[in-house]
Amino acid sequence: SASLRFHGERAVWLQPNSLDEFLRLKSEHPDARVVVGNTEVGIEVKFKNMVYPVILAPAFIPELNKVTQTEDGIVFGAACTLSHMGAVLKQAVQTLPPHQTEVFLAVLEQLRWFAGLQIRNVAAVGGNIMTASPISDLNPVFMAAGCKLTLMDKDGSRVVHMDDGFFTGYRKTILRPQEILLSIELPYSKKSQFVSAFKQSPRREDDISIVTAAMNVTFTPGTDVVEDLKLSYGGMAATTVLAKKTANRLLKKRWGEELLQDACSLLAQEMILDPSVPGGMVTYRRTLTLSLFYKFYLTVLQKLR
Ligand code: FAD
């Protein structure tokens, strides 16, 4: 069937039917704004006076809505709504062995406090990633979990890990103008791995976060010695960040009082904010980086028992 095309006074709306057509249009119009749920772009247009002359709406392209299980995890097309993703993850948590679903549970925890149902029913996972907001609730989880993202343009695709190289600045990512986000893979966790996510906002429900965090620790099997650790924070810089120095210094240490002390003093040195930073609440936000780690510390301690 023919794809839709609407011409308005200020904008052209292009709704491709196939992935090929979407990629071709994106290369013809690299400045076109991709719109799926419109819960970010709508705000920009209505309240920030942004004008996007060409809008590309790929919400109904099958590849962007697909969910597939692989050997390593579950792959979600970028246009999957948050509600759909939540339903799939809940199902996975019910059917898979518990040790495999630590990342999924962390995502579900964030979705529980993410906007309201109306927003979650239309907002897409790709829209959250690509907005690259420093206070995204999901990006810290994706980053701590080292999720794989598949990017595509008309000439092919590439797979990148979501690490601190993915976000290049305030609301900026490594995607080239002709590229789109095709999908994200959420990995299964391993037996000696624990993942948690936290959101602190003024109000519990339907509110913008002050600080978000996601933490992912893997122990040497059968021990409480840290083999791998990722601590990701939102609300502490212009992008979602990893507290790399802290995490590296905690490797090979046992999960105990001493590690907790070290983590707190290292985080206090690493997660700093300029007194004039947008959003204010500098002392509060810095304290949160420690108290959220403390929560993680206790959660993991209990699971290790
Ligand atoms: P859209 O507005 O359609 O697009 C967002 C951006 O992503 C655009 O720049 C678009 O070009 C780009 N994009 C989308 N898909 C692709 C793709 N496949 N390839 C390349 N670029 C793409 N966010 C939170 O983190 N936590 C919250 O609690 C929260 N609450 C909210 C509450 C309200 C009332 C509102 C309005 C928003 C809230 N948000 C929240 C922000 C927003 O809902 C999310 O970021 C959402 O995931 C965006 O998805 P979308 O499909 O609506 O994005």
- Report pLDDT digits (tens) over 230-242: 999 999 999 999 9
Residues 236, 90: Cα–Cα separation, whole Å: 30
Predicted pLDDT of residue 117: 95
At 224, list the tokens.
């409480």
**CA max distance for the chain:** 65
Distance CA 240, CA 167 (A): 7
Query: From the CA of 41, how far away is ligand 1's center (Å)?
Result: 7
What value does the mean pLDDT of the chain take?
96
DSSP 3: P
Q: Tell me the average pLDDT across 185-196.
A: 97
Distance (Å, rounded) from C-alpha 305 to C-alpha 294?
17
Task: Determine phi and psi for 7, rounding to 5 degrees.
Answer: -110, 120
Task: Give the lowest-confidence range in 151-155, 184-188, 278-282.
Answer: 278-282
Q: Which numbered atom of ligand 1 lies nearest the CA of 58?
A: 18
- Spatial distance between the Cα atoms of 119 and 101, rounded to a whole number of angstroms: 25
Residue 130 Cβ contacting ligand 1 at under 6 Å: yes
Query: Looking at residue 3, what is its pLDDT?
Result: 86
Place of tokens 């008309």: 154
* Nearest atom within ligand 1 for CA of residue 207: 28
Which atom of ligand 1 is found nearest the CA of 181? 19
pLDDT value, residue 279: 87
Tell me: pLDDT of 178 over 60. Answer: yes
181 CB less than 6 Å from ligand 1? yes
Point out the least confidently predicted range of 135-149, 155-169, 196-210, 244-258: 196-210
Nearest CA to ligand 1 atom 36: 39
Q: Is 167 in the pocket of ligand 1 (CB under 6 A)?
A: no
> Rounded to the nearest 10 degrees, what angle do helices 102-112 and 82-95 cross at?
140
Given strand 180-187, what is the order of strands in its sheet?
A: 67-69, 73-77, 180-187, 148-153, 156-161
Whether 208 has a pLDDT exceeding 90, the answer reads no
Is any ligand 1 atom within 6 A of the Cβ of residue 39?
Answer: yes
Q: What is the pLDDT of residue 1?
A: 56
| pLDDT given at position 206 | 82
Res 205: pLDDT: 82
How many beta carbons lie within 10 A of that of residue 13, not counting itself?
Answer: 15
Smallest CA-to-CA distance from 184 within 140, 213, 146 is with 146
Q: How far is the CA of 129 from the centre of ligand 1 (A)?
A: 8
- Read off the pLDDT of residues 3-38 as tens digits, 9 standing for 90 and up: 899 999 999 999 999 999 999 999 999 999 999 999
Calculate what percentage of the chain has a pLDDT beyond 70.
99
pLDDT tops 90 at residue 203 = no
Nearest CA to ligand 1 atom 39: 115
Instruction: Lowest mean pLDDT of 60-74, 82-96, 241-255, 273-287, name the range.
Output: 273-287
Instruction: With beta carbons less than 8 A apart as the criterion, state whether 162 and 187 touch.
Output: no
Does the structure show a pLDDT above 80 at 90? yes
Query: What integer is the mean pLDDT of 153-170?
Result: 97
Ligand 1 pocket member 16 (CB < 6 A): no
Cα separation, 283 vs 51, in Å, equals: 37
Q: What is the pLDDT of residue 2?
A: 67
The closest alpha carbon to 124, from 53, 183, 165, belongs to 183
pLDDT of 257-294, one tens digit each? 999 999 999 999 999 998 888 889 999 999 999 999 99
- Ligand 1 contact via 114 beta carbon (within 6 Å): yes
What is the model's pTM?
A: 0.97
Reported as a pLDDT band with limits 50, 70 and 90, residue 145 is: very high
What are the two backbone dihedrals, phi and then psi, of residue 192, each rounded to the nearest 5 degrees? -100, 30
**Res 131 pLDDT > 90:** yes
Q: Tell me the CA end-to-end span of the chain in Å, nearest whole number.
A: 58
Ligand 1 lined by 141 (C-beta under 6 Å) = no
